[in-house]
């Protein structure tokens, strides 16, 4: 990681949205107005549950997305990551079992780890979590605390759960009396196809805890997300948040609320989607032409990530440390840490976002050449 911080290295590691997608000029105007006319409010404490106007905006956004809720049903968070921590703190005792996708978001594993859970995993394919495998897992592990899923443009694989599987997942949760933790940070970044309903919008039995975020919708530095959950769970999460940090930044909440008051979020989202779609398309084209044919790669309909699958026996972490960074000056995230039970070293995650076209093409081309050299080495060893 210290080598990857070198400015001479082209990094496909972090899941950072492109800074060109940030509404910088709008934020500058809003901040100026906040300080000129509303500083006494914007710089003061606010409600622990979140600024009322922002909670109303989030409820409206959720309504547009098919989730019917009121402002009182929304708890504003320090990004969706805080939601992962608070849910873990509320629900996990040492030794409790959590069901995750295989692989899953490493940030969730980091949030769950301090509470010492055990894990069971359900496999993924191009249609998201394999619900037949999930059924097997739930039958084999009665009493699991919750199922954690990223249904839209999953981190790290980029795959999206099909509508059929969303419905089956909810059905299985009802049969096995288990909650679902739905994490949706990339939901607005869809480049192809039609949006699928969130699990929360399909939930008729109050089993889904829904996490959302402004990090990719507006800007990560706002550190603003939200959770919508059954009333008793939401009340307890609000108490845990009060103990953890009292509240999110009143100033940041005021900026986000004013943006939603004064600017066209749909137009902003359309521009952000076009920026990231262009980068995804160029990345996929470059990978297609420069990577060895033995490497499989996902073709995501949205989000920020491409998942690489190498032949068995290839260690992506070892190749990163010994070749990609020191020799080729390119970085990526090895896949092994995304597995909650049994690490699989023959995978890697690439993030194409935030790269200018030259760096994107040059970096991926150098990476392809590096993988070709590794492939030749593996063939020589095999002989």
Could you report the per-residue pLDDT of 42-76, keeping only the tens digit for each? 999 999 999 999 999 999 999 999 999 999 999 99
pTM for the model stands at 0.95
pLDDT of residue 55: 98
Among candidate residues 69, 87, 79, the one with its CA nearest the CA of residue 201: 69
**In the numeric block, which tokens belong to residue 187?**
């939901």
What is the rounded distance in angstroms from the CA atom of residue 155 to the CA atom of residue 153?
A: 7
CB contact set of 254 (below 8 Å; sequence gap of 6+) = 34, 38, 41, 42, 51, 54
Could you report the per-residue pLDDT of 239-297, keeping only the tens digit for each? 999 999 999 999 999 999 999 999 999 999 999 999 999 999 999 999 999 999 999 99
pLDDT of residue 3: 56
Among candidate residues 275, 288, 292, 261, the one with its CA nearest the CA of residue 357: 275
What is the rounded distance in angstroms from the CA atom of residue 304 to the CA atom of residue 377?
A: 31
Q: Which residue ranges of the chain lie beneath pLDDT 70?
A: 1-5, 376-383
CB contact set of 312 (below 8 Å; sequence gap of 6+) = 346
Among candidate residues 208, 191, 198, 366, the one with its CA nearest the CA of residue 269: 191
Give phi and psi for 84, each to the nearest 5. Answer: -60, -45
Torsion of CA 189, 195, 198, 202, to 10 degrees: 170
CB contact set of 266 (below 8 Å; sequence gap of 6+) = none
Strands (DSSP E) found in the chain:
10-11, 74-77, 97-102, 118-125, 128-129, 146-149, 179-183, 208-213, 225-228, 296-297, 305-309, 330-331, 333-334, 347-351
pLDDT of residue 4: 54
What is the rounded distance in angstroms from the CA atom of residue 331 to the CA atom of residue 334?
A: 9
Using DSSP's 3-state secondary structure scheme, residue 348 falls into strand
What is the rounded distance in angstroms from the CA atom of residue 282 to the CA atom of residue 191?
A: 13
pLDDT of residue 379: 59
pLDDT of residue 5: 63
């Amino acid at each position: 990681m210290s080598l990857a911080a070198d400015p001479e290295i082209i990094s496909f590691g972090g899941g950072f949205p492109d800074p060109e997608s940030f509404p910088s000029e709008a934020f500058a105007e809003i901040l100026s107005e906040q300080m000129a006319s509303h500083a006494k409010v914007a710089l003061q404490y606010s409600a622990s549950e979140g600024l009322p106007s922002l909670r109303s905006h989030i409820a409206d956004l959720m309504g547009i997305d098919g989730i019917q809720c009121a402002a009182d049903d929304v708890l504003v968070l320090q990004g969706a990551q805080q939601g992962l921590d608070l849910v873990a703190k509320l629900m996990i005792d040492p030794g409790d079992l959590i069901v995750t996708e295989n692989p899953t978001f490493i940030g969730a594993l980091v949030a769950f780890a301090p509470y010492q859970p055990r894990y069971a995993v359900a496999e993924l394919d191009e249609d998201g979590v394999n619900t037949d495998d999930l059924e097997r897992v739930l039958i084999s592990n009665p009493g699991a605390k919750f199922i954690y899923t990223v249904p839209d443009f999953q981190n790290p694989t980029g795959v999206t759960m099909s509508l059929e599987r969303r419905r089956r997942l909810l059905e299985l949760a009802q049969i096995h009396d288990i909650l679902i933790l739905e994490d949706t940070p990339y939901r607005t970044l869809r480049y192809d196809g039609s949006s699928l309903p969130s699990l929360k919008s399909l939930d008729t039995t109050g089993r889904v805890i829904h996490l959302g975020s402004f990090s990719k919708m507006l800007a990560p530095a706002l550190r603003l997300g939200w959770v919508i959950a059954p009333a008793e769970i939401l009340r307890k999460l609000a108490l845990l948040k009060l103990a953890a940090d009292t509240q999110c930044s009143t100033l940041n909440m005021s900026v986000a609320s004013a943006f939603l008051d004064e600017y066209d979020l749909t137009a902003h989202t359309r521009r952000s989607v076009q920026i990231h779609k262009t980068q995804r398309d160029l990345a996929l084209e470059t990978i297609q032409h420069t990577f060895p044919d033995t490497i499989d790669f996902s073709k995501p309909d949205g989000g920020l990530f491409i998942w690489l699958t190498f032949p068995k026996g290839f260690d992506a972490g070892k190749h990163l440390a010994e070749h990609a960074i020191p020799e080729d000056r390119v970085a990526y995230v090895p896949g092994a840490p995304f597995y909650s039970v049994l690490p699989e070293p023959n995978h890697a995650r690439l993030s194409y976002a935030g790269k200018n076209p030259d760096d994107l093409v040059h970096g991926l081309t150098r990476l392809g050449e590096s993988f070709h050299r590794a492939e030749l080495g593996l063939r020589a060893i095999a002989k």
